[in-house]
A = this chain, B = another copy of it.
């Protein structure tokens, strides 16, 4: 296919220093992982490159995941750093098929941060945790001198339990599988950008920040023929699917017409020169599933409030292993590469 011969340049960043792109969730993040962290921490669990680790404690299969949140601004339409810090970690557990149970939180606060703002953020985090049925069981607070931080950064680490028979993995996709998306894409990224840039919409875009574990629960009750789940956060749908294509050594062919993007999000993306496939989501999931169960699964997802707009958006192919391609609205086919630079720093 001629599209595969297109060049996909990485911007000329100074590779001897960390750039914003290294935190993008795209190509440079993968490079950092491959060149710095994997060699330093080498072990089989980490090398699986899932969004969560899984291991056994006694006879229990446990999932563990960590994320730091550095989103700017701290409050945005549809959420804040506190609720996001819960949803992000709950979702990474859920993508491993785990029931989220316990969270740790660690705050790094810049000296001089308003106590009342901290109280609001902690309260929001606590409410989000309660709503998810998870407990914040341990924590840490560090304060850095003024100018050495930026308001507040929050790390949450989550622990959950994986039911017997559940084996989700980014290396599990097989040719013929269906690719399912749970709803509209790009809402979180555009909501953050709108706050930051002061964009105005006729109907404002809200972050989709939401916990997906009950949706995943419904999906796993419907079928065990789910190969892989990913929440397309930093780097967007394109980066998540590229990871799956790479790890499963398969191609993924998407149909642009099937991918739901709100009119306001599409408009903002056009204005800003962004591709919605690269914009972050915080309440959406991608599922790679046996095609035979795809329709049944989509129907089940649509019965859940967070899966109302679920649909098939593509298929897994034997051809073009490691590549994601898109059949565009114009009928052409183009490659959808991983995010190369950093589209939107500090989106989560």
Contacts and interface: CB of A to CB of B under 8 A. Distances in A.
A160 to B, nearest CB: 9
B64 A138 contact: yes
A159 to B, nearest CB: 6
Interface in A97-151: 101-102, 104-116, 118-119, 122-123, 125-126, 129, 135-145, 147-150
B113 A17 contact: yes
Given A53-B102, A65-B104, A41 B129 contact: yes
A153 interface: yes
A14 to B, nearest CB: 9
Contact of A57 (B111, B143, B149, B161): B161
B59 A112 contact: no
A40 to B, nearest CB: 4
Nearest to A110: B18
A332 interface: no
B66 A104 contact: yes
Which 7 A-B pairs give the minimum distances between C-beta atoms?
A23-B143, A53-B137, A58-B60, A66-B104, A157-B157, A40-B126, A148-B150
A21 to B, nearest CB: 8
A69 B141 CA distance: 10
A66 B20 contact: no
Nearest to A342: B143
A221 interface: no
B22 A106 contact: no
Contact of A64 (B16, B137, B147, B345): B137
Number of copies: 2
B66 A139 contact: yes
B111 A68 contact: no
Given A59-B58, A64-B102, A122-B40, A22 B112 contact: no
Given A53-B138, A55-B101, A143-B342, 15 more contacts: A18-B143, A19-B111, A40-B119, A40-B125, A45-B137, A46-B135, A46-B136, A57-B159, A58-B59, A64-B104, A64-B138, A106-B157, A145-B346, A148-B150, A155-B155
Given A40-B126, A115-B36, A108 B153 contact: yes
Contacts of A136: 41, 43, 46
A65 B140 CA distance: 9
